[in-house]
Amino acid sequence: MIRRAALVLGLSAVLVAPAWSEELAAGISRDKIEINSRFTGTEVAIFGSVEPATGEVVQENRARDIIVVVRSDRASQATVRRKEPVGPIWVNRDFQTLRDVPAFYFVASNRALADIAAPDVLAQFQLGFSHLETGSAPGVQARVAFRQAFLDAQAAAQLYAQHEGAVTFMSPSLFRTTVALPPNVPAGNLRVTVYAFKNGEVTSSNSMTLFIDKTGIERFLFNLSRREPLFYASALLVVAIGAGLAAAAAFRHRH
């Protein structure tokens, strides 16, 4: 009886196991970027391979779909303001606060995201601008115009990017893409996640960490602003006043 029960359980395990199983391997060309006053931006290559299920042969025209996401692992808050004319001047009137938005966001794919998976699947993993969560203040739903203005501003600053078709396959299993890090990339950790899709579903994923670190005087000032924000702000105020007085004295001396 025990042997028969074990056989039944084993048969059940075979029946509910997935019909496919594959392994995704991924890597990055650099895992640490150091930022100083001379940093003008850089590029990081992301590459990998998808090993098909045992016994499966992936044809050239049936290569897996790949989506690469690079985003800050720390959420931030952004306030979007709308300017309106009041007489001869423009003033800030209405505004929307967006919470838990990444400071940096990049997504690349081998073809259009809409052709890879259904909207609900893309939304589950926040793949693409249309599916990136931009939570607003509690009890307030982010309005489309403010959300779009935020995305446009981040894209203009090169902090957000979406490149459909930027992932290229060098063979049915090997792929590669490149992420551009602008000079204003925020310090901190960037989470690099690679998703492999088949028939609109995620079959495997792989995550890595890219460290963005400030060096030299930039690192000292950055750490000081975090550890001693009041002293840092006071020092900036003193420097600004000193610079203003020096400029005023130089102007009076010339005239």
Q: Which residue has the tokens 């310090």?
A: 187
SS3 206: strand
Q: Map tokens 């991924």 to a residue.
A: 26
Residue 12 phi, psi (nearest 5): -65, -40
Q: Which residue has the tokens 């045992």?
A: 54
Through-space distance between the first and last CA atoms of the chain, rounded to whole angstroms: 107
Q: How far is CA 174 from the centre of its chain?
A: 23
Q: What is the pLDDT of residue 3?
A: 42
Tokens (6 digits) for 60: 């050239």
- Six-digit token pair at 118? 């259904």
- Contact in structure between 49 and 82 (CB atoms under 8 Å): no
Per-residue pLDDT of the chain (255 residues; tens, 9 = 90+): 434 443 333 333 333 334 445 789 999 999 999 888 788 999 999 999 998 766 555 555 556 899 999 999 877 777 787 777 777 777 667 778 888 889 999 999 999 999 999 999 999 999 999 999 886 544 444 578 888 888 999 999 999 999 999 999 998 889 999 999 999 998 889 999 999 999 999 999 999 999 998 775 555 555 555 565 665 566 666 667 766 766 666 666 665
This prediction has a pTM of 0.73
Beta bridge mates, 121 = none
